[in-house]
Chain A
């Protein structure tokens, strides 16, 4: 009997129903769940009581059971100063425990790789476990290979291309990479610290800009959390439109990624085609809601914009035409022998490593893990659709590119399928689509917890919301898929070529600001 609460994502539960475990029990329960093929979705600390930021801490964990379609929620009794680290037994926790240590000044005892994550400013009233020297972002002790043949290459945080800032430290032997250490935190804005309180229109705006390319993913996860806590159910038309927008976001990003992968090996035709076609998908988002990134589309209780008969037909027609073009552009890439020679066997991440690290999204599926929130934890209109999870076993750049290609086809099918069930008369009725305006936020259940899971285009997005006794948000935890996957990139580079790093990096295409929050 595992002392944890099993629940469906999207159902609110009173916090009192979740058993409070002491340190040993907490560790045993986590390991027992991991032994049943559950993986970590979120691990975080929250003060107890929630309103007292300087109070004692409870550790909360959310483990996802993909096979059963449920999540297990655990919490510890209040701890003081330190807690038992489980990283050496469950490597997928390593970054979560470092995050807790850094945010709350508690020491994970026995953590094998205790280093800062985001270098946030210290919380008043809490000491830093890293001492006072961690003032500037990126200042920490990096792992070093020594010896006359080893050399170190430092890249970033300022890069040659227009990309987000991050620091990469390579330990190399000639052209071979012995180890890569990734140090982020340059984009830390303090999102989670800004969220407690009563949700308002700005909360949604904050969520939509959490990672700019995942507007729909994070916006939807937040709205579902609010709906779950306030007992609202959006109408089916709104759910269909949400699916359409989420899949359009996936289409635009996957198409852009495939183009960029071609660009990184210097193969210009696919780069040029996909650059334009990504814009076509973004324009379809704009066709629905006026924003190419889907800003303002999803809101608690429904969607902000409808879709009339005329635009539905236009959407369907342009979607099919763009898919045909994308297929052509990708076929050119597959037919290019020189590109394929670069893609195959580059940046291999084994299934074992991917499992141990708790990878999510296309990167996990490219290493043979059948994980897809849309399939395993279907919500909204996904409950009505049946589809297989596209996976590959190679775990290399080629596999990650192929999974994206397969998902592009699948997304178009999902959209067309969902649109065929859309009643245009109902879908253009604003009162029906968004019963509640963003200006009048919902009343939330008190002392409750809810877990919200969405499959963003990068992978699983997990939001956990804890409400206080007054029905305000007491603690809001955001886990971007990048938080799980960054270390996967570091492992994929081991024994690889340093000149293949940009290609590997692009094949994961992780978010810096989603990680840094």
Chain B
């Protein structure tokens, strides 16, 4: 076992298996062939031995009868001695008148080697004596047995030698190279060298050469493919790097653009704020200048008017337009948040009713139209923290619009039944105040624009377009919302949703 994987001997190699197989097959063949040969030889020798009986019968018995008849013992003895010297006769006995006349050899009788010859007298046909002959089969057998053993031993030894030679030869010719190929294929660095088998020079190309060539070709192909792959990989890597660089550059420029955009955005927001402040100021100025035009010029007229009727009329106009200015300024104050309203818990149902009456009373100055019927759908007492004055104003503004819409429709349609529904309801954490009228409705095109400041459908002097803006802002101030839905010409519903609890006191 210590020489397990040496160049010459391997335990688990093809050669060893070949050795065992060859030896076994060869031994078996030798065994069979030798056995057949031996059996045939033995048969031949045995037949030859048997032939002695025939010789005795044909050549000796008659003369022996003569001698017995004459009782010439001397001649008989000579004859029997001669007979005993015949090859293959191991025992000889002549019996006459129950007396052993002659005995030679050792008797070991058996079926096949023993024969009795009765010696007749030719004239009288009287039995003169009995000749017992035994053939030496035992020594024949022993001889063949020895021969067999010898042949087998010799053959086994020869086969063994041959097989060992074969083993080494096979090892030298094939296995060693297979091992070389195997280790070559196993070797990770095989790319650096060709596969060469260390073999003696020979003319013709054999299987090993073909194998080695194929492997070398395969190797070079693989090498080529590998190089191609490598080149491809490198190209890919270069491409990836290039792309990465490109991406980074793009990213950088994008980031730059982003910051620029952000800066521009900030600038725009600032500009926008200024612009909206500007446009708001312009709008407010315009809204105030119109009534101011009347207030200023009419009051100037008052200074030198003596007609009392005219004085009254002018005063009334001045009052009306002063109120307009007052309304605008108040709205602006609410919008800007600079009002001194504080949160307090208020019954919203009461507040809704109060708002309605307040709307009617302020309307009385401008228009005397009062809806014939108002429907309340109020929830069981709802109390919520609200900015009372602001909320009252917001509700008044919406109700004023609702009544205005009813009035307009009443003017247009003779058989119109105005309906105004004021309702309150709790929805989860919120309370909803809804003001619904079946007046002229809001054109869908206006959408959320109705909440824009200074947007009004009323004629100049009737409204500044701040009512819904203010209401919307007040809803937001409470952390609530103001939404509306409407069908033009049919109905409008404003829903103000306010939180039932205030988590923080808004400024």
- Asked if A and B bind, the verdict is no
By a beta-carbon cutoff of 8 Å, the part of chain A in contact with chain B is: none
